[in-house]
């Protein structure tokens, strides 16, 4: 484990050259890893492990789109593709990758399949930390661990395929066998992590829920809509408003931030843009700080998790979600976005 200076604070990280794939294979050579749930995180993690030589089976409800997707990806019913319960019974490592609400609903059946010295693996601290709401309390004779990729399930796979990997956090909640940490690191490397950094289940879920509702998704969508609407109100065309709000960010500037940081992006823009950004960044920061304070309080108090479980457990949840996403898809802003994307050179070939 290497120590790095993160902005003046020393933290430890585990890089893939310090815990190489061959070592991960050795640690996991006698394990059968069951990926329970083939929706968001399941496909990327399952396929990466399979490509890395780990014995992987999938547990998924039969007959649905995810079952068919697993078959399309080469998992064979009765051989490497089973019901969630059957996969859990056959496994020594149970990767519990259903949605948070799905984990609650399935838990009694999965818990009954766990045997002594199994490893119960999560990619989110939600179910364990908010056990008063979820009812998920693991038996005492299993290891309980976490590897949380810092990206979408799709990115877990695409980054693996292009050789870049994806950062992930890891934690051990319960170490029954005395080998939980090594197995956790091996699983993290096996799913394609470029490096892993330690956390706890609680820190992971609080930072993750805050990030998703904040800058990664909720805040980003909100400020984009606000700027687009402002420009349109003052007579700018949909194309101009979208380009100045989204396209330039995603196709140019965010890449510079990812390459060397925000200061480097500023340094590679015009002096007019630099001056404006430096003057206005503190105003936006101060304006949204109270919203972030409220968000963090709602996450730590359990209000946000309660909202998720209540909303996602209703019988018509999927229909409601589809309507909400359709409203976004059909808005002028994102219809303009579809038109702008179609004009990119790579999409006109």
- Residues with a catalytic annotation lie at 124
CA distance 84 to 168: 25
295: alpha, beta or left? (left if phi > 0; alpha if psi -120 to 50): alpha
Angle between helices 303-312 and 271-301 (to 10 degrees): 80
Neighbouring C-beta atoms of residue 141, cutoff 10 Å: 13
Sign of torsion, CA 154 155 161 166? negative
- 53 secondary structure, DSSP code: T
Among 138, 52, 147, residue whose Cα is nearest residue 95: 147
Contacts of 3 (CB under 8 A, 6+ apart): 10, 11, 12, 13
CA distance 211 to 299: 11
Contacts of 128 (CB under 8 A, 6+ apart): 122, 136, 138, 144, 173, 201
E strand or H helix at 168 = strand 166-174
Using DSSP, state whether 30 is helix, strand or coil.
coil
């Amino acid at each position: 484990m290497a120590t790095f200076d993160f902005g003046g604070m020393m933290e430890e990280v585990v890089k893939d050259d310090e815990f190489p794939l061959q070592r991960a294979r050795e640690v996991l050579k006698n394990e059968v890893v069951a990926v329970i749930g083939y929706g968001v995180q399941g496909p990327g993690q399952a396929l990466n492990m399979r490509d890395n030589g780990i014995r992987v089976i999938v547990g998924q409800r039969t007959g649905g789109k995810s079952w068919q997707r697993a078959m399309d990806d080469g998992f064979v019913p009765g051989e490497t593709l089973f019901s969630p319960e059957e996969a859990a019974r056959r496994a020594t490592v149970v990767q519990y990758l259903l949605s948070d609400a799905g984990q609650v609903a399935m838990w009694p059946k999965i818990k009954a399949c766990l045997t002594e010295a199994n490893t119960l693996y999560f990619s989110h601290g939600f179910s364990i930390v908010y056990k008063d709401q979820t009812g998920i309390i693991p038996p005492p004779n299993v290891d309980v661990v976490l590897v949380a990729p810092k990206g979408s399930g799709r990115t877990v796979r695409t980054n693996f395929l292009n050789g870049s990997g994806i950062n992930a956090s890891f934690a051990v909640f319960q170490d029954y066998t005395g080998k939980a940490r090594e197995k956790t690191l091996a699983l993290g490397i096996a799913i394609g992590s470029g490096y892993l950094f330690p956390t706890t289940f609680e820190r992971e879920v609080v930072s993750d829920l805050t990030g998703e509702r904040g800058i990664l998704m909720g805040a980003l969508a909100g400020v984009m809509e606000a700027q687009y609407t402002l420009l349109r109100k003052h007579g700018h065309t949909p194309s101009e408003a979208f380009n100045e709000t989204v396209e330039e960010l995603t196709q140019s500037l965010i890449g510079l931030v990812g390459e060397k940081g925000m200061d480097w992006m500023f340094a590679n823009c015009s002096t007019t843009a630099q001056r404006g950004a430096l003057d206005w960044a503190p105003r936006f920061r101060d304006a949204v700080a109270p919203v972030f304070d409220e968000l963090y309080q709602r996450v730590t108090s359990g209000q946000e998790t309660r909202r998720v479980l209540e909303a996602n457990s209703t019988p018509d949840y999927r229909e409601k979600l589809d309507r909400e996403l359709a409203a976004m898809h059909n808005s002028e802003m994102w219809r303009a976005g579809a038109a702008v994307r179609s004009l990119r050179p790579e999409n006109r070939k």
